[in-house]
Structure 1
């Protein structure tokens, strides 16, 4: 589920010069947003997926057309407003690329459009699902407690849910008691007031999540459960490239693990490897499969686990 879906545009150039005209070496456009990126990775892992969200306007038509080309099934709620664009500007040599992101806020969503998603389309999408992923920001007009509402619907349908959000959407969403919440360290700190990722993961569980995994870049992944288990998964070796979709790749690995009921420390080792392999791919929603295999073997040896 990507409530604030986007047409992702990636510009690549040798060097970004602010305040000057820049010639773009290559342009890529594809359907995106955090949930769509997660669905792409899951599909490449061999999982059956269904893309859902709010989509409209000319960019919304491009969004649907790209999902068709990508063979990604979807059940999208139409809206009058135009789907936003997100622009990632990737510049510099391959071993030292920098990524500048420009994110549009998203279209205005009416009360009727939101009700259509909640009352009709989301329940239909849940039918037969083993896991649901709720990702990203909220477009204007969608209530702050949107994720809590969707999480309760998923719980009533018996479908465990992953929440990957930020700010007020994350804080309000925790009231819906997700099976897993997966923010990065900055998002977790904003939600809990804890700068330490391990402490933030514990507080996220205290606020309603059954389990929490906080991604912290080079410091690895920090996990905690409401039952009191805690663990740390070190990051794999440094990988150069475009980190835009790395968090979404980690979410994909964790969603697959939730569907399979795999132990969380094992799941976060897989998530760390898949996120790093995603950095090596030029576009969000992809990953380097050979690097993923290499790093998965390494992570299985380095994940540590402790019970509180």
Structure 2
């Protein structure tokens, strides 16, 4: 298991390099001048040119990236062009809000989706068709539209949950939970239906295998066959889907955090893009990439636990 973790971590290094390079390239192509954004539209062109040189934006792009990468390796992601504050100091306090959104949403998708998928596979009939229908609806409904509907119903009309804002867990666990109910519901609907559909298909495949028939012939209970043996075999593709879903929720977090006013990485990245704050936006991309690497590592560890053959590869 240790060799598996070390190998996956080593694969994360070139992934970080590639993502950082292409994000640096794409951000540089965004229309607008960071120096002009800092000084304002009425600033004289001479001041803009001077600040442009001070920021190092007049240097060739490969030189700019090499300079940034050298600092990033030492843990320095630069300073915000707008506020002058260290990027790490701006983004690290935003990390708990994003994780508080992504982790509960993934757990909700896993628990509810697996329960629905197993039940529909075992019982079939109406429940199976219902899961298929919910899967289509969940994938078709945009998360931002669902977020607006949830705010309209549960925050404005019935006043059950706050419409915007975020309370840290250390300040008040109850208010922390209340501030996350609507955002988590908004981003997890599509994830729940995707997990339910994958679980149902994987369970049907597992229940039709020969080892299940042998167990039935040997008199094993239905509960033991379904939950101790078939579900373990069906869980491998489900775990892979959960890993993809968790990573994709980072993209949904950009919109949902802005709708609900959550001070997370997504809203910080959106603000940095509007202000053309290249160091802050580049730092947010690095944070997102690190989260994806950790998610991939967790998925690989779960695969190794579920399938011993993976540990020997």
Query: Which structure's residues are more often helix, by fraction?
Result: 2
TM-score calculated relative to the size of structure 1: 0.19
Query: Which structure's residues are more often strand, by fraction?
Result: 1
Q: Point out the structure with max Rg over C-alpha.
A: 2
